[in-house]
Amino acid sequence: MSKRKVERLNLLKFMPFRFNRLAAEFSNALAAEYMARFGIDIPEWRVLATLGLRDEPRSAQYVVRCTRTHKSRVSRAVGSLVTLGYVARAEAADDRREVMLELTPKGRAVYGELVPLLLKREEAILSCLTPDERAQLNHLMDKLERSFDLVQCGE
Amino acid sequence: MSKRKVERLNLLKFMPFRFNRLAAEFSNALAAEYMARFGIDIPEWRVLATLGLRDEPRSAQYVVRCTRTHKSRVSRAVGSLVTLGYVARAEAADDRREVMLELTPKGRAVYGELVPLLLKREEAILSCLTPDERAQLNHLMDKLERSFDLVQCGE
DNA sequence: ATAACTTGGTCTCAATCGCAACCAATTGCG
DNA sequence: CGCAATTGGTTGCGATTGAGACCAAGTTAT
């Protein structure tokens, strides 16, 4: 019985690795530049982005579900944002356990300033792809997200 | 002078976010299942994978460059792997600063066991894509990696 | 040759993170 | 009703991490 040849794995071709590496690059490209300026980090930004999408109060739990971020992380991020005066906490009328979150005017201002910068940065990163390729990327991400049972983009 | 409408950003459509979320899912899917069994974590796995690709001693620095992992993290991962008996450290002949790393027989055995499991897992994850779509994904990842100046897969 | 600089690697430190325990409010069930 | 189970959120704790100080070895310039 001869020894079977070892199966090799090229890390650089291994999708989980490639995704992690690329995701880290995306984060660096964004966080480094703009977020430090407003005293916020990625978890804070996720809360901000979730609250900024609609002008309605949202519960912390909603943010958790939306962003797949651990609730302790969300809780702490909300704490920072409240301290910074970007977010206001309020009790929910119907369920007094829930903490309803809303952007303050100051928070909305930061959001309004941050969004164009981040979108521009995203644009710069994706500019290496043709329009067709971008559509492909969207489609592939959709399928992968669906297969992981991640919350999809509604509209 | 009228107030301009706030530009909105849908987090779920924002590529940096999507990449990060998906990357986390990939990691969970792999790490949870197999790696705990061998007492190794993601940084350790990266070292193992780098050393396993060719049967030649490599320096820690090589692993750093290859995986874009911080050198302190690599250093610690190597420490664990040595403790576990999966990796052997040796001085380089020509440059006595370098630490040459090599898989031990035990390390090669673990590698040989782990690789098929991980590849099977990757396969399961990507099975939601058609062959065409997989080719597209490869191509898109290539382009993005190139634009980030990441080390590419040679062959 | 020696001083200044660079490079490979380890280690200390502060910050971050996720888990899980915890509290409070709500819901469900006997 | 009243007690268990569940849910929303906070917090303490241990583990992990990256930045950067540090040491040792090698390189370069004069």
Tens of pLDDT along A54-66? 999 999 999 999 9
Looking at the domain assignment, is residue B153 inside a domain? Answer: no
B154 domain residue, yes or no: no
The chain-wide mean pLDDT, for chain B, equals 90
Domain assignment of residue A46, given as a range: 13-147
Beta bridge partners of B101: B58, B89
In this prediction, residue A31 carries a pLDDT of: 81
CA angle B32, B38, B39 (to 5 degrees): 80
Q: Is residue B41 part of a domain?
A: yes
Are the Cβ atoms of B66 and A8 closer than 8 angstroms?
no
SS3 assignment, position A147: helix
Q: In this complex, which residue's CA is closest to the C1' atom of nucleotide C24?
A: A97
Secondary structure element (H or E) that encloses residue B72, with its range: helix B71-84
Contact: B126, A15; criterion CB under 8 Å: yes
Q: In the structure encoding, which two tokens stand for residue B132, read together?
A: 């065409």
Q: Is B6 at the interface with chain A, CB within 8 A?
A: yes
CATH number, domain with residue A124: 1.10.10.10
Contact list in A for residue B141 (CB cut-off 8 A) is 15, 18, 22
Q: What is the pLDDT of residue A121?
A: 92
What is the rounded distance in angstroms from the CA atom of residue A18 to the CA atom of residue B68?
11
Residue B154 has what pLDDT?
59
Tell whether A1 is covered by a domain: no
- pLDDT in the model for residue A152: 66
Total Cβ atoms within 10 A of residue A39: 13
The answer as to whether B3 is a domain residue is: no
- pLDDT in the model for residue B37: 84
Nearest 5°: phi and psi at A49? -65, -40
C-alpha to C-alpha distance for A24 and B76, rounded to whole angstroms: 20
Q: Is the CB of B21 under 7 A from strand C?
A: no
What pLDDT is stored for residue B39 in this prediction?
Answer: 87
Is residue A132 helix, strand or coil?
A: helix
Please report the pLDDT score of residue B62 as a whole number. Answer: 95
pLDDT < 50 regions, chain B: 2
Phi, psi of A95 (to 5 degrees): -125, 105
Q: What is the pLDDT of residue A5?
A: 77
Q: Is A140 within 7 A of strand C by CB distance?
A: no
Asked if residues A31 and A115 have their Cβ atoms less than 8 Å apart, the reply is: no
Contact B19 A17 (CB under 8 A): no
What pLDDT, in 10s, does the model give residues B106-140? Answer: 999 999 999 999 999 999 999 999 999 999 999 99
| Residue B35 within any structural domain of the chain | yes
Helix axes A105-126, A15-30, angle to 10 degrees: 130
Q: Which residues contact A53 (CB under 8 A, 6 or more apart)?
A: B8, B9, B10, B11
Query: Which residue from B15, B27, B143 is facing A20, i.e. has the nearest CB?
Result: B27
Straight-line distance from the first to the last Cα atom of chain A, in angstroms, rounded to the nearest whole number: 59
CA–CA distance, B28 with B34 (Å, rounded to integer):
10
Write down the pLDDT at residue A28. Answer: 84
Question: What is the structure's pLDDT at A54?
Answer: 93
**Residue A7 covered by a domain:** no
At B124, is the secondary structure helix, strand, or coil? helix
Q: Is A17 on the interface with B (CB under 8 A)?
A: yes
Model's pTM, two decimal places?
Answer: 0.89
Residues 62-101 of B with CB under 7 A from strand D: 69-73, 76, 94-97
Taking residue A116's Cβ as centre, other Cβ atoms within 10 Å add up to 12
pLDDT score at A153: 63
Strand D atom within 7 Å of A98 CB:
yes
Domain count, chain B: 1
Å between CA of A90 and C1' of D13? 29
Residue A8: inside a domain: no
| pLDDT score recorded for residue B100 | 96
Q: What is the pLDDT of residue B92?
A: 84
**A24 Cβ contacts chain C strand, under 7 Å:** no
pLDDT at B30: 87
List, in sequence order, every residue forming a beta bridge with A91; answer none if it has no partner. A99
- Those residues whose C-beta lies under 8 Å from the C-beta of residue B95, and which sit 6 or more positions away, are none
Q: Give, for all 155 residues of chain A, the pLDDT tens digit.
A: 545 678 899 999 999 999 999 998 898 888 866 788 898 999 999 999 999 999 999 999 999 999 999 999 999 999 999 999 999 999 888 899 999 999 999 999 999 999 999 999 999 999 999 999 999 999 999 999 998 876 666 55
